[in-house]
Amino acid sequence: MNKALLFISVLFSSQQLLATSELDLSNKKTIIPSNSRDKNCQQSQIKPWSFATDLPIESPCKMIRTKPPIEIGPKLLGLGKIKNGFRLPSGAVWQPALYLLGSARTAFNTQKKSRQQHSNEVAVRADVFFNLQLSATERVLLGLTPFNKGSKFSRYQFSPGANNGYTESLNSNIDTFWVEGDIGELLPNHKNQQRKKYDMAFSFGRQVIAFQDSVMMNDAIDALVLVKNNMHIIPNSPSTRLSAVYGWNNINRADGLRDDSARFYGLFSETDTWKRTIEMDIAYMTSNNEADGGFYGFSSTQRMGHWNSTLRLNGSFTALKETKNMRNGTLLTLQLSRNLKTSHNVYYVNFYAGFDQYRAATKDQDVGSSIGLIGISFASPGLGNFNSALSDNTDNSYGLATGYQWFFNRDRSNFMLEFALKQQSLIAQRNNLKAISLRFQKAISRRWLWQLDAYVADDVFQGTNYGLRSELGLQF
């Protein structure tokens, strides 16, 4: 117990050292405190400016700039002259800067599932990134999650009694480590003569690959990615992006378990038209442990009158005998939302329908459900053992979530109320579910966010379930 309390107090103390004072935006003129005596600010020779449609800013030297805990080299979003840097033999100019970025989260979770004892715990998580920025297009990023290994978090459990005590998941494992750049920017001496040939971006290493808003995949895998931007291959389309992905290691399947024999091949595209953004994706997976098979995704995002809408169609298929993570199925989702007049408040209604047994291509252990985008009743917080209000199983099922989000306190606080339903035909224990979910968020100073979640779910077979969690998060 003493070890757990010491661990939690050290985490809170670390968060407090990184916090800044409360930011007051109550004045009609937005005056943001800053050190106007800074030499870079005095020498910037930038005159005060304002937006005609927004509150004026007194001076660019008083704009928000929250300093990272580690900042070596040019200031992140800083003012002043840009240093010369150094020139590579290829002609590229680099201006190195190192930043420490990330977040730290601490939550108290309590949950009661029918026919089970209460579960009470305090869990922590930190996502730490060392970002080495070499230029506007080249960088190296190292990411660590020192308090959790996948879905196993450092936490102290108060109940049930059989599992009471402190669970340690401290580690120094590398969660992400990759380099990205643009071939054309690395070879500027050749860019003018053969610009189209060299105008291609790349990334290499352990990186998060996510497509179709995490419905198709969301996993940190060892991969090589080649991206061709600003292509004009469709009439009346201003831009098309084409991405090719090859993944060979650290691949987690749909159940979150690693498959060391898996190899991933994907081709992903995104096209902007005058009225919508269209994504068309296809991927193929080979494995010695699962059946080989493919995955596809199509989505269209557009404005329909006063409504924002996104339609997604995803599928998985195999010509071989189905295995646990390689099955035939289709998942259809529809998201609708709109702002109400004279306010920033949002009303939304989202639907999904699962046919047969759709499986995502890859999914990290702490990502949560493939239908988390439907609503907070289906989404996992990714911290501790707190589960979503409704089951994330989409086999032969359909559901909806409708809710309203209020913004107040000059948009620094918001409250969300959601009602969700789910009908699942072939799993008797999860048939006909419904839930009411609440969420309150409040920004505290520049870095802190307090979030409160609660839900009550009704299962016709298992009775009433409920959950409550309070989380304090720090962005740095």
Cα angle vertex 375, ends 370, 109, to 5°? 90
Asked if residue 20 belongs to a domain, the reply is: no
Q: Rounded to an integer, what distance in angstroms lies between the CA atom of residue 401 and that of residue 150? A: 28
What pLDDT sits at residue 164? 78
What pLDDT sits at residue 336? 97
Q: How confident is the model at residue 5 (pLDDT cuts 50, 70, 90)?
A: very low
At which residue do the structure tokens 């990330």 appear? 102
Beta bridge partners of 166: 156
Beta bridge partners of 315: 296, 330
Determine which of 51-65, 195-209, 364-378 has the lowest per-residue pLDDT on average.
Answer: 51-65
Q: How confident is the model at residue 224 (pLDDT cuts 50, 70, 90)?
A: very high
What pLDDT sits at residue 338? 95
Judged against a pLDDT cut of 70, whether residue 30 lies above it is answered with no
| Entry pTM | 0.84
What pLDDT sits at residue 7? 44
Dihedral angle computed from the Cα positions of residues 71, 77, 80 and 84, in that order, rounded to the nearest 10 degrees: 70
Asked if residue 12 belongs to a domain, the reply is: no
Asked if residue 45 belongs to a domain, the reply is: no
Please state the rounded mean pLDDT for residues 35-51: 46
Please state the rounded mean pLDDT for residues 435-446: 95
The string of pLDDT tens digits covering residues 411-424 is: 899 999 999 999 98
What pLDDT sits at residue 367? 86
Task: Please give the mean pLDDT across all residues of the chain.
Answer: 85
Q: Rounded to an integer, what distance in angstroms lies between the CA atom of residue 190 and that of residue 193? A: 6
Asked if residue 64 belongs to a domain, the reply is: no
Are 315 and 327 within 8 A, CB to CB?
Answer: no
Please state the rounded mean pLDDT for residues 82-89: 87
What pLDDT sits at residue 23? 39
Asked if residue 35 belongs to a domain, the reply is: no
CATH of the domain at 155: 2.40.160.10
Asked if residue 425 belongs to a domain, the reply is: yes
Q: Rounded to an integer, what distance in angstroms lies between the CA atom of residue 315 and that of residue 317? A: 7
Judged against a pLDDT cut of 70, whether residue 18 lies above it is answered with no
Our count of domains for the chain comes to 1
Please state the rounded mean pLDDT for residues 333-339: 96
Neighbours of 126 (CB within 10 A): 20
Judged against a pLDDT cut of 90, whether residue 377 lies above it is answered with yes
Please state the rounded mean pLDDT for residues 65-91: 87
Q: For a pLDDT cut of 70, what percent of the chain falls above it?
A: 82
What pLDDT sits at residue 476? 92
Judged against a pLDDT cut of 50, whether residue 62 lies above it is answered with yes
> Can you give the residue range of the structural domain that contains 325?
106-475
The string of pLDDT tens digits covering residues 279-322 is: 999 999 999 999 999 999 999 999 999 999 999 999 999 999 99
The string of pLDDT tens digits covering residues 138-155 is: 999 999 999 999 889 999
Q: Rounded to an integer, what distance in angstroms lies between the CA atom of residue 32 and that of residue 307? A: 34
State how beta strands 217-231 and 362-363 pair.
parallel
Please state the rounded mean pLDDT for residues 250-268: 96
Please state the rounded mean pLDDT for residues 345-365: 95
The string of pLDDT tens digits covering residues 399-408 is: 999 999 999 9
Asked if residue 51 belongs to a domain, the reply is: no
Judged against a pLDDT cut of 60, whether residue 14 lies above it is answered with no
Q: Rounded to an integer, what distance in angstroms lies between the CA atom of residue 245 and that of residue 92? A: 26
Are 284 and 294 within 8 A, CB to CB?
Answer: yes
State how beta strands 86-87 and 93-94 pair.
antiparallel
What pLDDT sits at residue 310? 98
Distance from chain centroid for Cα 282: 21
Are 392 and 368 within 8 A, CB to CB?
Answer: yes
Determine which of 31-45, 257-271, 282-296 has the lowest per-residue pLDDT on average.
Answer: 31-45
Asked if residue 350 belongs to a domain, the reply is: yes
